[in-house]
Amino acid sequence: MNLLDLPVELLSLIPLHLRDIEDFTNASSSCRTLRNAFLKTQPNQILRLAAASSRVFFRPDPYFLIAATARQVSDWALESHENAEVLRAAFMVGVDALLALCVEQASITLEEIRRLHLMRFSTLNPVADLIDKAAGAQWYSAPNFWDGGVSDAATIFCNPTRTMYQIIIYGELFSSSFQAFLEPEKSFPRFDIHMRLDFIRYCIPDYICFLGAPGMERPKEVGPYDPVKIVEERPEHDQVAMRHVLLCRRWREAWEEVRRQVGGDFEDGWRQDMWKSFVECQGLHGLEMIRPGNVEPMRERLLSARRSIEGLEIQPQRYKFGSNYQIALAFVLKRIFPIVFTMGYLEHSSRSSEDVVASPPRHYIPLDSTRVVEISRPKLNPRSSPYTPK
């Protein structure tokens, strides 16, 4: 008896013992018998095989596969408080732990993998190129860069592809929470602002975030901020790069065109902030709207959200960070952390002889639209942190 003489029920178990997705596709394409048997492979097992090949076929690792499956993990986490705490714990360890949770709880099919690879050429590569022109190597290559060649010259390190996927993953994880807020009558669960901030702290690590800022809780010394790891592998300034990208002219104009096609903008104010946040926070397929002619599949969803925002009579709850207020459901990457860094880093950048170190841990303070709670600025000790690299 040879291998192909075995019952199809046994042949369909072979993928459980394969090394990675390359072995799976090679074996599946070797003959019709194995191809038919492998059609019974569960999508979660396909994801496990794909994760084993993440550094070769699904780059950037681990962001590509997280972006492909994060929405499923978000839905799972919203099912119970216990699940949400598991997701929070994964955030705190970093993106590798988030991928491990995706592999445990999510799934993917070969057809979805093929669509995502096609999407690289139609959407992902062009958007990464836009970010590169806004904050990457192409931006720096502008003639007379420091002498008026660009309007927003700055010293920034930005990995355009990684920045793009960080934006995508944020949308995949939290867009459903924004939708739930706009449809309160349906009583859908949603993540609070603390969950979103934990994602930013630990899955978009930045040494400036570790140093802290007035009014913000300092990250715990885990994951990317582990005391040993942070000395050996200091986090890059991903949040600073993110701030620049989200506020730069190229990025803003791309989304202004999207909003123009679905009803236009509100007058400046909290409704406009919410509208901008909703449009930009749609995840993987929402990013397709930046490309010409791709708004139509999302039109009804956006129009419905715009009507809901327009119908709001009371400004949503706000949170205070330092001396600034932000709507709880604003696009956190754009509406909160840019302000945090303006307070905690850029404001002190003139102190070139001293490193700005973390403020004591602070808690978030929920506010209504009228009550004011002051948070005094803690004193900054320039040399007390034992985790500042020598």
Sheet holding 318-321, edge to edge: 324-327, 318-321, 365-367
Closest-CA residue to 230 (of 204, 207, 201)? 207
pLDDT, residue 326, reads: 56
Which position has the token pair 């000790």? 381
Alpha-carbon gap, residue 322 to 337, rounded angstroms: 11
Q: Provide the β-strand partners of residue 326.
A: 319
Alpha-carbon gap, residue 339 to 337, rounded angstroms: 5
CB 191 within 8 A of CB 78: yes
Secondary element (H or E) of residue 2: none
Largest CA distance in the chain: 79
What contacts 24+ positions apart, CB below 8 Å, involve 266-270?
Answer: 266/309, 266/310, 270/315, 270/316, 270/327
CA of 259: how far to CAs of 39, 49, 222, 300, in Å? 42, 39, 39, 13
Other beta carbons within 10 angstroms of residue 149's beta carbon come to: 13
Burial of 180 (0-12, 13-18, 19+ CB in 10 A): middle
pLDDT, residue 82, reads: 96
pLDDT in tens, the chain (390 residues): 788 888 888 999 999 999 999 999 999 999 999 999 999 999 999 999 999 999 999 999 999 999 999 999 999 999 999 999 999 999 999 999 999 999 999 999 999 999 999 999 999 999 999 999 999 999 999 999 998 888 889 888 999 999 999 999 999 999 999 888 888 888 889 998 889 989 999 999 988 888 876 666 788 999 999 998 888 888 888 998 998 999 999 999 999 999 999 989 998 788 998 899 899 989 999 999 998 889 999 999 999 999 999 998 888 776 665 555 555 555 544 443 433 333 222 222 222 322 323 233 333 223 233 333 232 333 333 333 322 333
Burial of 362 (0-12, 13-18, 19+ CB in 10 A): middle
Its pTM stands at: 0.82
Coil, strand or helix: which one is 320?
strand
pLDDT, residue 7, reads: 87
Alpha-carbon gap, residue 99 to 67, rounded angstroms: 9
Task: Give Cβ neighbours of residue 151 (< 8 Å, ≥ 6 apart).
Answer: 249
Q: State which amino acid sits at residue 98.
A: L
Secondary element (H or E) of residue 116: helix 110-119
Query: How are the residues of the chain apportioned to helix, strand and coil, as percentages rounded to the nearest 5?
Result: 60, 5, 35
pLDDT, residue 369, reads: 31
pLDDT in tens, 154-183: 888 999 999 999 999 999 999 999 888 888
pLDDT, residue 320, reads: 63
Task: Give Cβ neighbours of residue 278 (< 8 Å, ≥ 6 apart).
Answer: 178, 182, 302, 305, 309
Closest-CA residue to 388 (of 208, 152, 177)? 208
CA of 16: how far to CAs of 34, 42, 92, in Å? 14, 10, 30
What tokens appear for 250 in the block? 């190229």
Strands 318-321 and 324-327: antiparallel
Coil, strand or helix: which one is 109?
coil
Coil, strand or helix: which one is 323?
coil
Other beta carbons within 10 angstroms of residue 183's beta carbon come to: 12
